[in-house]
Structure 1
Amino acid sequence: MDLEDTLLMMPGPVPVAPRVLRAMSKPMINHRSAEFAGIYTDCRQILADVFQTKNDIFLLSGSGTAGMEAAVGSVAGNGDKVIAIENGKFGERFKDLAALYAEVVPVVSEWGLPVDLELVKEKLEEGAKAITLVHNETSAGIMNPAAEIGKLAKKHDALFIMDGVTSLGGDEVKVDEWGVDIAVVGSQKCLAAPPGLSMASVSEKAFEAMKDIKKRPYYNDLKAYKKSGDKPRPETPYTPAIPLFYALQEALHIVKEEGMEARIKRHRTLSEAVRAGVSAMNIEMFPQLNEYSQYSSTISAMKSPEGIDGEDIKNDMKKRGIIIAGGQERLKGKIFRIGSMGNVSARDVLSTLQELEIVLYRRGYVDSLGAGIEAASRVIDGL
């Protein structure tokens, strides 16, 4: 399989624009120089619009998980309680990371089911320093109620820590309006840059909470990033992955050129087209929704058709040059997932659905070809 002809339709990494790849070939520079400070400042300014925040923003050399650990590890310790919401793999990861630094109070729903807001209220009333939420749970294809969690956290004076790794840059995220104290995003998702960087916005309330923490992460200490970021010539506390900063800056310029309103509309339209296409193939969406949850706008999770293993669908698609995702851990074989994040186009979505329909036809699940493409096209064309 020729990698250059392979279409990535998974929840990250996503295809990277040629101009972003070219940016990584620039010469190395001094990471304590005015040149690097200019790149860092430019990225932070564009990200402020993506995050919709006036809070400080920092860039870490490390994936989204590094940003998640920085978020909880920098503010929680000394026996603090952290409420960890879980309804998918990454909520579980946030819970496990928090447990390294604090006493975790889990609020768990079965993966793919809505967050239990009543249980969240109950746990907050018992007291907690912070609460964690994965906004867009890609393992289950469900968008969780960040605005509602933000209101509850504020009411009970708890820090709100949010994983926006797969929503920031692809869907509406209002960090300041929702009262998010620390929000994290990864480079290889909706921002369509290569893997290896994470970004975090941090409120003044969060910085205040760091003062009494004796045992914080060393490399991922947000207090250290604050000290370095506040210098007259902003920098990172440790040597940054310079080629990735070049790439991120170029990717953010693409985001700026498209405009966040248009970018969000594109993501939402294409994810709706995926849902329409698979529905026309009689495939059921996996997550169960309530009034406070939505289908993800950057990844669609579907139940595997009866009699067909989701891993077989994934493998069949790979043979046809399209990489989609299967289920993780307990969901392996039970679901498959199609990404629609980053710089994904209508053609990418239609090509994926066309190949999926052929795969299902050859496995005897659909009787004829064309219904999925027609349904998705009608969404894309606004019909």
Structure 2
Amino acid sequence: MSYAPIPMVPGPVALHEDVIAVLGRDYGSGQVESDFMCLYDATSRSLARLMGTTNDVVLMTGEGMLALWGALKSCLKPGDPVVTVGTGVFGDGVADMAASFGCVVEKVSLPYDSTIDDLSIIEDAIRRVKPVMLTAVHCETPSGTLNPLASLGKLKKDLGVPLFYVDAVASLGGAPVHMDEWNVDLLLGGSQKCLSCPPSMSMVGVSDAAWARMEEVQYQGYDSILPFRTVRTDGRCPYTPNWHGVAALHAGAQAIFKEGTQAAFARHEAVAARCREGLAELGVKLWTAPDAVNAPTVTAAMIPDGYTWPEWKEALRRHGLICTGSFGPMAGKVFRLGHMGTQAQPYLMEQALDAIAVTLGK
């Protein structure tokens, strides 16, 4: 088995050494161990700190999509009106998810190379539809963008939208997130991106309004969030606890705190800036529009002329660089460099740019 010498995929990322250390330990059963509940509580509070919230944060066993589906199904019923804001595949994908179980969805789909700016079309949709839920994606990884959400959160509050659902899977831990300040009710995260853990855990910040809605909906299923409301009080999880997964999340969060959250964010920003600067020097164009906000965790660039995506991918691999393509209208046109978590390192970015330069004969 070979390992990528220059890992630059936008998740799952290389594991942090502190995460690897805790994964090698032997733990008790969890379900009957008070130590597990202490670990669960400490991890939940650490993630709440990263989310910028005083709300509850629940920890669920399953990759990040578990949180995305679970938050929708726990809070929505067939026929509920929903407004989704999309600047990419995942933002518009939330609309399709909600529609799949009977919600009436108004999809505000913006150009996939842009970020949220003019709120007028969103405000119009909210006033017309009067949604139960407004949704948005913070970091749209297929597009390499980071959506500013403060103004959207204010609009949600001003217009009285009951719930604001935000996918922060690819930004949590790598960029500032302010759940409470942005009036977010469901803040969704995953373990395999900036936290540098295996793709085994999801986390959801839950506001009081979201808990109340879940009590009303009473959704039952593996991805139901409501049963986690009493984990801290009754000491039992709704299914077999993932002690290793929670321990990994705790280690990943503590590694960020040890570095300093602001220092970690600055590191991501600096590596992202060097990525964009280096690509420009090599004549590789970005996918994003000039006025879009580029993500600090992933960069989306145009595949150079003369290459198909499979050809470009294999050419880079021959020089040790492992990256990914994109989805939807970007498929076959865009390649992505993931500089998040353990991969947001200056030396790795220089190696990646060198590999691209050699591949292009520069």
CA contact (8 A) 2:320 2:355 kept: no
Residue 113 of structure 1 and its aligned partner are, at CA, apart by: 2.8
Residues 217, 99 of structure 1: CA spacing in aligned structure 2 closer, same or farther, 3 A cutoff? farther
State the distance in 1 between where 2:176 and 2:85 align: 20
CA contact (8 A) 1:58 1:199 kept: yes
Whether 2:113 is the aligned partner of 1:109: answer no
Match of 1:219 in 2: 222
CA contact (8 A) 1:303 1:336 kept: yes
SS of 2:14's equivalent? Answer: coil
State the distance in 2 between where 1:306 and 1:175 align: 41
Q: Kindly provide the CA deviation profile for residues 281-336 of structure 1, in whole angstroms up to 9, marking residues without a partner as x.
A: 1121111254xx41011000011222322332222222222211112243222011
Q: Kindly provide the CA deviation profile for residues 134-163 of structure 1, in whole angstroms up to 9, marking residues without a partner as x.
A: 110000011112112111111122111000
CA contact (8 A) 2:179 2:187 kept: yes
Match of 1:239 in 2: 240
CA contact (8 A) 1:58 1:229 kept: no
Residue 229 of structure 1 and its aligned partner are, at CA, apart by: 3.5
Residues 57, 19 of structure 1: CA spacing in aligned structure 2 closer, same or farther, 3 A cutoff? same
State the distance in 1 between where 2:20 and 2:94 align: 31
State the distance in 1 between where 2:271 and 2:9 align: 14
Whether 2:318 is the aligned partner of 1:319: answer yes
State the distance in 1 between where 2:233 and 2:70 align: 18
State the distance in 2 between where 1:201 and 1:114 align: 24
CA contact (8 A) 2:193 2:341 kept: yes
SS of 1:111's equivalent? Answer: coil
Match of 2:357 in 1: 357
Structure 1 runs not aligned, ≥5 long: 362-367, 369-383
Residues 272, 249 of structure 1: CA spacing in aligned structure 2 closer, same or farther, 3 A cutoff? same
Q: Which protein, 1 or 2, shows the higher relative CO under an 8 Å CA cutoff with sep ≥ 6?
A: 2
CA contact (8 A) 2:5 2:320 kept: yes
CA contact (8 A) 1:20 1:250 kept: yes
State the distance in 2 between where 1:172 and 1:149 align: 16
CA contact (8 A) 2:55 2:205 kept: yes
Query: Aligned AA for 2:85?
Result: I
Q: Kindly provide the CA deviation profile for residues 6-33 of structure 1, in whole angstroms up to 9, marking residues without a partner as x.
A: 3321110111123312311211412221
Match of 1:134 in 2: 137
Match of 1:37 in 2: 37
Whether 2:254 is the aligned partner of 1:253: answer yes
Moved more, 140-149 or 127-136: 140-149
SS of 1:12's equivalent? Answer: coil
Residues 96, 146 of structure 1: CA spacing in aligned structure 2 closer, same or farther, 3 A cutoff? same
Moved more, 330-339 or 348-357: 330-339
State the distance in 1 between where 2:237 and 2:296 align: 32
Whether 2:189 is the aligned partner of 1:190: answer no
Query: Structure 1 residue runs of 4+, over 3 Å off?
Result: none
Residue 217 of structure 1 and its aligned partner are, at CA, apart by: 4.5
Query: Aligned AA for 1:284?
Result: K
After superposition, residues 42-57 of structure 1 pair within 5 angstroms as 42-57=42-57
SS of 1:326's equivalent? Answer: coil
Query: What is the CA RMSD across the aligned residues, in angstroms?
Result: 1.7
SS of 2:263's equivalent? Answer: helix
Normalising by structure 1, what TM-score?
A: 0.89
Whether 2:180 is the aligned partner of 1:176: answer yes
CA contact (8 A) 1:310 1:327 kept: no
Whether 2:153 is the aligned partner of 1:154: answer no
Structure 2 runs not aligned, ≥5 long: none
Aligned pair count? Answer: 356
Normalising by structure 2, what TM-score?
A: 0.94
CA contact (8 A) 2:114 2:293 kept: no
CA contact (8 A) 2:18 2:255 kept: no
Query: Aligned AA for 2:34?
Result: A
Residues 40, 12 of structure 1: CA spacing in aligned structure 2 closer, same or farther, 3 A cutoff? same
CA contact (8 A) 2:187 2:205 kept: yes
State the distance in 2 between where 1:145 and 1:241 align: 33
Query: Aligned AA for 2:24?
Result: S
CA contact (8 A) 2:37 2:232 kept: no
Match of 1:11 in 2: 10
